[in-house]
Amino acid sequence: MAAKGLRLVIVGGGAAGISAASTTKAIAPETSVVLFSEYEDVAYSPCGIPFVHGREIPNFEALFLQSRQHYADVGIDLQLETRVTRVDLRERKVYVGSRAYEWDRLIIATGFDYERPDIAGSDLEGLHYVKNIRRAMEFDRLLEQIKKVVVVSASPLGIEMAGNLARRGLETHLVDESGWLMSEVADPDIMQPVEESLKSLGTKIHLGTKVLGFVGSNGKVKSVKTTTGELDCDVAVMATHKRPNNLLAREAGLEIGSTGGILVDDRMRTRVDGVYAAGDCVEVIHGGTELPVQGLSGSHAYSQGRVAAANAVGEQRSYDPVFIPWGMVGGDVHVGGVSLGETLHKMLGIPHFVAAATGISRARYYPGVTKVRVKLIVEPKTLRVTGAQMAGGEGIKERADFLGFALKRGATLEDFAWMENVYSPPIGALMEPIALAAQAGLTQVKQLRQA
Amino acid sequence: METGRKQSFAERLRMAAEKYLREAAEEEMIKRYGDACTRPFRSNGVVSVIIRRLAVPLFLRIPWSLRRQMILRASYPSGRRPDWSSWQKGLSLKASDQSESGQNSGAQA
C-alpha cells in the first residue's frame, strides 16, 4: 500500500486523469493528490457534446458528472486552467511556469489533440474542434445564428456531428477522402445503412473528396475548397484524426512508440520509476495481433487511469491487451463490432474469411423489430473469430461487448454457431444473428472442404 | 498543451505504412463491395505511385507471421518492448476491490 504522505501529481483532467485521482483517493485516502488541467472543467462527458447540438440532450449541464466541490470534499486538489509547462523526471517536479510542484508518483494523462490540416485558411475563425465543453457551449449559441455547416472527415465524431446538425435543421455537408464512411475502422457494407440514414436526415455526403483549403472573408471561414468543388459554409467542424498529446512527455524524455503514444507496460508504467501514463496519450497492445494501438474510447482511458492509480499507490493491477469492442449511432442506425474488421484484416494482410448473416433483433411479429447484420471475420485454420462488424437498429452495443469478451477468450465459429441465446419476443429473436452468421460460416467451410 | 510534433522515424514509417496499406485494402474492399463505395481520392505523386505499385504488393507477399514480426521490430526501434505478458501468464490482476469502484469518478458517464 501507499506510503503515508505520498505525493501524487496527475497531469490532465480527462477520463484517465480524473479516474486516476478518484481511484487514488478511494484506495489510499492519505495520498496527497494534485491534478492539473489546462481547461476550466473536469468530470463531464465530451462524447455527449454532439447530442446536445442535435437537441437529443436538452443542455450541456446534463453532461457534467461531478462538481468541483465534490473533488475538494474528497481531498483532490484540482488546479484548473493551469498548464504544466515542463516535467523534470530527475528532480521529480512538474513546473507551471517557474513554480515547481514536487511528486513521488506522476501520472501523465494529457489525452489527445486533433490533427490540424496544413492547408490554406486553417487559421480562419469558424473552424471548430469538438473537445472542450465551454467552447461547445459557445458553438451551440453560434449554431442558432447560422445555416450552413461543413463537417470535415467522416470519422465517428464527424458522423455524429453531421447527423445531429442535420437533425437540428442546418444545411450539413460531410466531406471525406475515403470511399465510405469511417473507412479507418469500419467496412463499407456495414456503413452503407448509416450513409443512407444520414442522407434521409438531410446530410449531403461528399465521399472521395479531399479538402484543399478554407476560403475566408474578414478572417472568417465562408467556404471549403475541395477536389469536387467549393462548399459554402458559416462554420466548419473539424472531426480530423486524433493524435496523442505527447509534447510534455516527449520533452521530458519519456519513450514514445510508433503510434505517437507514450510507451507503457501492462501496469501503465513508463520506463521511468514512479512515472505512469494513461488514456489517449499512451499506446497499448492489441490482443489479437499484439501490435501497438492508440486512441481508443473514453471507457479505455477510464480503466487505464484506474490501473495507473492503483499501481502508483502500491497495489498490483494489470491492464489486459485490448480487443476494442466499439459501437455508435450514425443517423438512426446502430453500428459496432470488435476490431479488427474486414478492411483492417486486409490492410495488415492477415489470413481470414468472412461469415455473415442478417437476423432480427426481436421476434419477427413483435413491434419495433429491426434487422441485424452480423459479419464475423475468421482465421481459416483454427476457425477462431478474430473480428466482427454489425449494423442494425438495436442491440448492437450489447453484442459488441459480448463478442469482445468472447474473442478475448478465443471463441471459434463452432462456439458461436452452437451458442445459447436469450429468446423473448420483445427483446430477442429465436435465432441469434451472431449464431446465424457463424452457422453460415461453417456451411462455407464445409463446402470448401468438400470442393 | 500542444500536441508533440517532432516525430521519430518509427512514427513516420507507421503513418506512411498505414496510409498506403489502407489504400490497398480499400481497393480490395471496393472490388468486393462496390455498390457500397465511392471512388476514393488518391494523390498522384511519383512517390505515391511507386509505393502503391511496388512496395505495398511486395510487403503483402510476405507471410503474415513474418510480416507481423517486421511490424513489431519497426514499432520498437530500441528493441525494448514494454512487458504486456501478465495476461498470457495468467497473472492478470484485476481491480476487483469494491472500494475503488469509481462511484465518485464519473462511472456513470
A236-245 residue pLDDT tens:
999 999 999 9
Q: How far apart are CA A351 and CA B66, in angstroms?
A: 13
**Chain B (77-106) residues lying within 8 Å, Cβ to Cβ, of chain A:** 78, 80, 82-87, 91-95, 97, 99-102, 104-106
Name which of A112, A258, A346 is nearest B75 (Cβ-Cβ): A258
- Look at residue A48 in the predicted model and tell me its pLDDT: 96
Asked if the interface predicted TM-score (ipTM) of this complex is over 0.85, the answer is: yes
Tell me the pLDDT band of A2, cut-offs 50, 70 and 90.
Answer: low
Q: A232 pairs with which residues across the strands?
A: A223
Residue A278 has pLDDT above 50, yes or no: yes
In a domain, B87, yes or no: no
Residue B98 has pLDDT above 80, yes or no: no
A295 shares its domain with A156: no
In a domain, B83, yes or no: no
In a domain, A94, yes or no: yes
Residue B1 has pLDDT above 70, yes or no: no
Domain that holds residue A439: 325-450
A211 shares its domain with A108: no
**Per-residue pLDDT averaged across A265-293, rounded?**
96
Residue B39 has pLDDT above 90, yes or no: yes
Q: Does B65 touch chain A (CB under 8 A)?
A: no
Q: Cell triple for residue A319?
A: 491492464
Question: Residue A421 region, left (φ>0) first, then alpha (ψ -120 to 50), else beta?
Answer: beta
**Per-residue pLDDT averaged across A286-302, rounded?**
94
In a domain, B103, yes or no: no
**Cβ atoms of A337 and A397 closer than 8 Å:** no
Q: A112 pairs with which residues across the strands?
A: A244
Residue A295 has pLDDT above 70, yes or no: yes
Q: For A194-332, where are the E strands, in sequence order?
A: 204-206, 211-217, 220-226, 229-232, 235-238, 242-244, 262-263, 275-277, 282-285, 292-294, 325-330
**At CA A206, angle to CA B45 and CA A345, rounded to 5?**
65
Residue B95 has pLDDT above 50, yes or no: no
A84 shares its domain with A149: no
A88 shares its domain with A136: no
Cβ pairs A/B, distance under 8 A: 209
The pLDDT mean for chain A works out to 96
Domain that holds residue B15: 9-78
Handedness of CA A159, B52, A287, A18 (dihedral sign): negative
Lowest mean pLDDT of A132-141, A347-356, B64-73, B89-98, name the range.
B89-98
**Per-residue pLDDT averaged across A83-88, rounded?**
98
In a domain, B97, yes or no: no
- Look at residue A102 in the predicted model and tell me its pLDDT: 97
- Look at residue A3 in the predicted model and tell me its pLDDT: 63
Q: How far apart are CA A125 and CA A214, in angstroms?
A: 10
Name which of B8, B29, B87 is nearest A256 (Cβ-Cβ): B8
A284 shares its domain with A193: no
Residue A223 has pLDDT above 60, yes or no: yes
What φ, ψ does residue A59 adopt, rounded to 5°?
-160, 165
Q: How far apart are CA A244 and CA A326, in angstroms?
A: 20
Tell me the pLDDT band of B105, cut-offs 50, 70 and 90.
Answer: very low
Residue B99 has pLDDT above 90, yes or no: no
In a domain, A62, yes or no: no
Residue A400 has pLDDT above 80, yes or no: yes
In a domain, A297, yes or no: yes
Count of the separate structural domains present in chain A: 3
Distances (CA, A) of A132 to A13, A137, A250, A302: 11, 9, 24, 18
Residue B100 has pLDDT above 60, yes or no: no
- Look at residue B94 in the predicted model and tell me its pLDDT: 54
Residue B107 has pLDDT above 50, yes or no: no
The answer to whether the Cβ–Cβ distance between B102 and A27 falls below 8 Å is no
In a domain, B40, yes or no: yes
A232 shares its domain with A263: no
Q: How far apart are CA A260 and CA B6, in angstroms?
A: 10
Q: How far apart are CA A53 and CA A399, in angstroms?
A: 28
A107 shares its domain with A137: no
A340 shares its domain with A443: yes
- Look at residue B3 in the predicted model and tell me its pLDDT: 45
Residue A399 has pLDDT above 50, yes or no: yes
Q: How far is A16 from chain B (nearest CA, A)?
A: 10
In a domain, B63, yes or no: yes
In a domain, B91, yes or no: no
Q: Is the peptide bond before A340 cis (omega within 30 degrees of 0)?
A: yes
Q: How far apart are CA A290 and CA A383, in angstroms?
A: 19
A158 shares its domain with A207: yes
Residue A423 C-alpha from the chain's centroid: 32
Residue type, A401: D
**Per-residue pLDDT averaged across B19-48, rounded?**
95
In a domain, A73, yes or no: no
The helix, strand and coil proportions of chain B, stated in percent and rounded to the nearest 5, come to: 55, 0, 45
**Per-residue pLDDT averaged across A285-296, rounded?**
94
- Look at residue B77 in the predicted model and tell me its pLDDT: 74
Handedness of CA A271, A273, A275, A276 (dihedral sign): positive
| Tens digits of residue pLDDT in A9-29 | 999 999 999 999 999 999 999
A297 shares its domain with A376: no
**Per-residue pLDDT averaged across A335-362, rounded?**
96
A98 shares its domain with A37: yes
In a domain, A281, yes or no: yes
CATH number assigned to the domain comprising residue A397: 3.50.50.60
Last residue of a domain, one of A240, A273, A296: A240
Taking CA–CA distances from A12, the nearest residue in chain B reads B1
In a domain, B57, yes or no: yes
In a domain, A70, yes or no: no
Residue whose C-alpha cell reads 492489441 in the numeric block: A286
Contacts of A284 in chain B (CB under 8 A): 84
Residue B109 has pLDDT above 80, yes or no: no
Last residue of a domain, one of A213, A240, A267: A240
Count of the separate structural domains present in chain B: 1
Contacts of A291 in chain B (CB under 8 A): 68, 71-72, 75
